[in-house]
Structure 1
Amino acid sequence: MSVQDVTAPPHAAVQAGHRPLVAALCIFGAVSLLGILIRPTLPIDETRYLAVAWEMRLGHDWLVPHLNGHAYSDKPPMLFWLINLVWLFTGPSGFAARLVAPVFGLVTIALTARLGARLHPQRPEYGGWAALILSGSLGFALYGGLTMFDTMLSAATAAGVLALTHVERRGLRPWLVLGAALAFGALAKGPVILIHLLPIAVAAAWWKGIGLRAMAQGLGAAICLALAIVGLWLVPALTVGSPEYREAILWTQSAGRMVQSFAHGRPVWFFLAVLPLLLWPWAWSPRIWRQARFTPPLVVWSVATLLIFSLISGKQAHYLIPVLPAFAIAFAPALAGSKRRAPIACLLPFGLALAMCALIVGLAPQEYITAANPHPVALLVVALLAAAAAVALIDGVTVFLAAPLVVCASACIFLGEMGESHDAAPLARRLAPHDTQGIGLIDGKYHGQFTFAGRLHHPVIVFGDAGSALDWLQECAGRVLTAPLKNGPGQPADTIDFRGQPWGIWLPQTQSDRGQPCRN
């Protein structure tokens, strides 16, 4: 540490960390907002979660979420509660609902800055640089703007780790804050919050030096508080829910996923393979790894999370989003200590070039696009390779490539026909007028793709075969049937492209509905 570092006034260090924190919040906020404006509500995850929130609003059932009229046990209700809270002021707006999850991304960035300053008390400016690294990581920039549960879980994790940095041999206040973080994380995404916080809390006896007894007492108090808070929802929900819902909440969606995943099965090395992509571009710089500082809590946080998740059957790349702040804090000293930081303005030509390419691909007449045939995945790979090469060439220069890359990739993919194909609204608008009489679907399982987009008030009736669907359709002139064209019963009345394949719309041939709505 230089003499200047020792003699610098504390407020100067805090101010030095404040500027990158503001930049981080602005970068992430801009990327998330542009993503919402560019992308449609993506099926099947985003459309499903908005559908659950919509059915909660319609049914006024705040305890047991529902999807297509059935109890939805895959996730706890916190996200759906918050979306409905926003809708109290805005009405059922898709744009407003999609802002909820990114807000927790901003909270996570702010908590990362606080945590970075706390873990490096001699260099509190590291917190601001950690926030900047997090906002400029590909994984956080990409997933943080989606209507999913990972930013909420990330905020709960960062808050819990921050509380653990304040624990002492005596005093329960930090442990109670940890309990509140555990409760929020559990209500956001379930018991998975324990994987993120329990190892580092147990290891506090080592990295905080408080002793096993103090750790056990504090952790016990935190868990009791978390159980009490979660119980305010869980006990009434289990009471009014069906036996199937109780089994799913208590076993299938927690221990059942860990023992043998019924979805998203991946090999044990999956997370080690995707972590460099989530941490791109920072983790691709040898200098950053050489100067990284993994303090004991960061080691426990990152290693334990990776190890436990690798041993669990179900794996998705976004499961690691809550652990990215640990790497951002560890990388902060390298970025803060760089003497070759270039002004952000020097990167504007590169970003503008990518943006122009994206707009050309997204908005040019289709015949030109067909002639050029630039596959969106290929464009994304080329952009990744080009940016990775730039990082290697200017190793040590502050770069913000992930943020413009996410925006440009979104423009490449979603401003053209692919964006129209992945927008459920056009097909939902065709189905919505038949909501009262009945909407049928032949597609195996319905994930709520059209429920919110069509503002449907009745469940969609799902059929396993075309024959029974066609019989149902002919019973009432007001009904409609839709399905991927390959699953449909013959020639449809109309077709529309959805998720890269043609979907058919079938209307009944009978002309008499006797003036009565019929749905069964």
Structure 2
Amino acid sequence: MKEFVLKHKKIFFIMMIIVGVYLLYFHNIWMYKLLDVDETRYVNMSSTMFHDKEFMTLYLNGKFFFEKPPLYFWIENLFFGLFGGVSEGVARIPIGLQSLFAALVVYFAGAKVVSKKFGLIVACILGTSLEFIIMSKIAILDMLLTSCITISVFSGFMTYFVQEQNKKYFWWLFYIFSGLAVMAKGIPGVVVPFGVMFFAGLYAKNLKEFFKPKYFGLGTLLFLLIVLPWHIAMLHIHGKLFFDEYIIKHHLLRFIGSDVIHRERPFLFYIPILAWGFFPWVFSFVSMLVEKCRGFRYRAYETLENKDRFVALSIIGALFTMLFFSVSGTKLVTYILPMYPFLAVILANYWCEDGCSKIFKVFSQVLNSILILVGFVILIARSYLPFDLYNTVSELKFVGMSLCIVAGGLGVVFAKDGKKLKLFTVYTVLMVLLSAFGTHHFFNINAKFGQNDLIEYAQIAKAQNKKIVGYKTGKKYSLIYYSGAKKVLFLGEDDEYLVPQYLNDKSNLVIIKNKDFKKLKFKYTVVKKGVKYSIVSK
């Protein structure tokens, strides 16, 4: 058997990659409901587009939606058409593919510039980072933006490493995918790629190449051909309303300040996000920073070998991306996702170095100890968690406990013996298996803390042909998606005086939070009480 495998090792390697990709991004993606609020919002909008055949103007809850460009929704509709309808699993397939595209791009770039081993390590680090995995299984816009930015910027990077006659193709790819990034999510799609390449040009002292007519002229034309048609059409259809809402409010003002969506965050907001989002690689990343910063000295671009140039360009990419999203007035957890491909390249260089330093072993053992500790904490969870909470999270117990203890134990042995490649393999396999067999449990557990109530009530409303009124529920779009309604009425705290009117109408199903029972100033009867929300009547 061993001889057969060695004889056909390329075939087995390809099969292993295919299985790994499936487990990472596609296994069990149909086994959990859409997540409030972003996934339910965007899939509901895609569903509306699919059924109404209105492919220009986006609608949410029966109203114009001028916050985002339409590329994500067009892609979703393509897959709805291919698979014959709308479902949770189908909605997530394009996002998994975008994750795969980003990983493939960094692999081929790393393999071309350095080596196949380097490219594979970059792709594994990126593809198995915790936040990257989570975002690959939720049908929202950020992974599409990340994929487009990754293809754009790394195409730009490749212009530093390919022969002169091939540069134009990579410059054109840079402009094409920058345009697609704009159509995915607006301003970040143009600022991040062009900003990174501008500072890369300054560092490499070849900024003039950026403006060569054969690159800049046709590239700009390709960019504008992608970006302008939809924007011009929307300005023609909606005029000043689109300009004020889309361009001024949701792009310029949203970047300048947080008042638009009321999400004020500190400048260093993304540091703790990266601390957990880059798990498990954050530990080796910190050990790398400790080692490299002590002996750091500036080196001019022309003095570097190709591998070091590639890493230097990625450092510029990481720093600019971090700075851009940190100075933005609006900060959300998912916004920092385009930074992970750059971090993966930087860290891959460290993992490819020969030998294991003492600092590397120390940080590896810290990670291994944490994994083992988490495994045993999960094992004895029944002794300290309330019974109801334990029952809620118990479905994740076996997967989490076994993977953490086994990975931590193997990690201790391999780190002690300095077996770097085996240690890397342990962490990679750990994240692949957690992604395949743990993430759907995590999402299902999350839904048990209130969203399942809303899904159940939406299905009741659908079965009884009733309209839904949510009072102080927030805009939970699962009520729209799972009821099949065109729109749901969401009332805020100032609308309490309207609630009795809707209770009087028997065609309405009114939903409120359980914690608001005592605050209500009108009489009501609880028809059905859930974990967080209840149906009430007069």
TM-score between the two structures when normalised by the length of structure 1: 0.78
What pairs with 1:327-476 in structure 2 (closer than 5 Å)? 327-336=343-352, 368-369=387-388, 394-395=414-415, 396=420, 397-398=423-424, 399-400=427-428, 401-406=430-435, 410=439, 413-415=442-444, 418-419=447-448, 421-423=450-452, 424-433=454-463, 438-443=467-472, 445-456=474-485, 458-464=486-492, 465-474=495-504, 476=505
Q: Provide the residue aligned with 2:69 in structure 1.
A: 76
Does the C-alpha gap of structure 1 residues 418 and 48 become closer, same or farther in structure 2, counting only changes over 3 Å? Answer: closer
Q: Provide the residue aligned with 1:9 in structure 2.
A: none
What pairs with 1:102-501 in structure 2 (closer than 5 Å)? 102-120=96-114, 123-167=115-159, 172-206=168-202, 210-212=206-208, 214-215=210-211, 217=213, 218-219=215-216, 221-241=218-238, 243-262=240-259, 263-285=262-284, 290=291, 295-336=311-352, 368-369=387-388, 394-395=414-415, 396=420, 397-398=423-424, 399-400=427-428, 401-406=430-435, 410=439, 413-415=442-444, 418-419=447-448, 421-423=450-452, 424-433=454-463, 438-443=467-472, 445-456=474-485, 458-464=486-492, 465-474=495-504, 476-485=505-514, 486=516, 489-497=522-530, 501=532
Q: Give the conservation status (yes or no) of the 8 Å contact 1:110–1:131.
A: yes
Query: Which deviations, in whole Å up to 9, do the C-alpha atoms of 1:299-356 show, x marking residues without a partner?
Result: 211111112221112222321211211121222234345679xxxxxxxxx9999999
Does the C-alpha gap of structure 1 residues 248 and 133 become closer, same or farther in structure 2, counting only changes over 3 Å? Answer: same
Does the C-alpha gap of structure 1 residues 308 and 375 become closer, same or farther in structure 2, counting only changes over 3 Å? Answer: farther
What SS is found at the alignment partner of 2:211? helix
**Matched residue type, 1:429:** Q
Q: Provide the residue aligned with 2:3 in structure 1.
A: none
Q: Provide the residue aligned with 1:517 in structure 2.
A: none
**Matched residue type, 1:310:** S
What pairs with 1:19-38 in structure 2 (closer than 5 Å)? 26-34=19-27, 36-38=29-31
Q: Give the conservation status (yes or no) of the 8 Å contact 1:282–1:288.
A: no
Inter-partner Cα distance in structure 2 for 1:245 and 1:384: 50
Q: Give the conservation status (yes or no) of the 8 Å contact 1:24–1:131.
A: no
Q: Give the conservation status (yes or no) of the 8 Å contact 2:372–2:409.
A: no
Query: Which deviations, in whole Å up to 9, do the C-alpha atoms of 1:69-115 show, x marking residues without a partner?
Result: 11112222112111111111321222211222111111111111112
Q: CA RMSD in A?
A: 4.2
Superposed displacement of residue 375, structure 1: 9.8
Q: Provide the residue aligned with 2:298 in structure 1.
A: none
Q: Provide the residue aligned with 1:503 in structure 2.
A: 534
Superposed displacement of residue 283, structure 1: 2.6
Q: Give the conservation status (yes or no) of the 8 Å contact 1:288–1:335.
A: no
Inter-partner Cα distance in structure 2 for 1:198 and 1:20: 37
Superposed displacement of residue 388, structure 1: 7.8
Q: Give the conservation status (yes or no) of the 8 Å contact 2:145–2:189.
A: yes
Does the C-alpha gap of structure 1 residues 23 and 194 become closer, same or farther in structure 2, counting only changes over 3 Å? Answer: farther
Does the C-alpha gap of structure 1 residues 130 and 413 become closer, same or farther in structure 2, counting only changes over 3 Å? Answer: closer
Q: Provide the residue aligned with 1:88 in structure 2.
A: 81
The number of aligned residues is: 476
Superposed displacement of residue 250, structure 1: 0.9
Q: Give the conservation status (yes or no) of the 8 Å contact 1:69–1:459.
A: yes
Does the C-alpha gap of structure 1 residues 91 and 133 become closer, same or farther in structure 2, counting only changes over 3 Å? Answer: same
Superposed displacement of residue 254, structure 1: 1.3
Does the C-alpha gap of structure 1 residues 145 and 354 become closer, same or farther in structure 2, counting only changes over 3 Å? Answer: farther
Query: Which deviations, in whole Å up to 9, do the C-alpha atoms of 1:234-265 show, x marking residues without a partner?
Result: 11122223643331211112111221013332
Query: Which deviations, in whole Å up to 9, do the C-alpha atoms of 1:34-62 show, x marking residues without a partner?
Result: 45244321111111111111222233221
Does the C-alpha gap of structure 1 residues 282 and 392 become closer, same or farther in structure 2, counting only changes over 3 Å? Answer: farther
Instruction: State the identity as a percent.
Output: 17
What SS is found at the alignment partner of 1:101? helix
Inter-partner Cα distance in structure 1 for 2:380 and 2:390: 13
Structure 1 gap ranges (5+): 1-14, 341-349, 510-520
**Matched residue type, 2:247:** L
Inter-partner Cα distance in structure 1 for 2:312 and 2:532: 51
Does the C-alpha gap of structure 1 residues 313 and 381 become closer, same or farther in structure 2, counting only changes over 3 Å? Answer: farther
Q: Give the conservation status (yes or no) of the 8 Å contact 2:379–2:397.
A: no
Q: Give the conservation status (yes or no) of the 8 Å contact 2:511–2:533.
A: no
**Matched residue type, 1:198:** F
Matched, 1:40 2:37: no
**Matched residue type, 2:489:** I
Inter-partner Cα distance in structure 1 for 2:81 and 2:378: 37
Inter-partner Cα distance in structure 2 for 1:415 and 1:450: 17
Structure 2 gap ranges (5+): 1-8, 293-306, 357-369
What SS is found at the alignment partner of 2:528? strand
What SS is found at the alignment partner of 1:332? helix
Q: Provide the residue aligned with 2:295 in structure 1.
A: none
What SS is found at the alignment partner of 2:137? coil
User: 1 or 2, which has the higher helix percentage?
Assistant: 2
What SS is found at the alignment partner of 1:98? helix
Does the C-alpha gap of structure 1 residues 370 and 479 become closer, same or farther in structure 2, counting only changes over 3 Å? Answer: closer
Matched, 1:58 2:88: no
Superposed displacement of residue 422, structure 1: 2.6
Does the C-alpha gap of structure 1 residues 373 and 210 become closer, same or farther in structure 2, counting only changes over 3 Å? Answer: closer
TM-score between the two structures when normalised by the length of structure 2: 0.75
Q: Which segment drifts farther, 350-359 or 198-207?
A: 350-359
Q: Give the conservation status (yes or no) of the 8 Å contact 2:470–2:489.
A: yes
Q: Give the conservation status (yes or no) of the 8 Å contact 2:103–2:127.
A: yes
Query: Which deviations, in whole Å up to 9, do the C-alpha atoms of 1:268-314 show, x marking residues without a partner?
Result: 11122322322222230266555895623112111111122211122
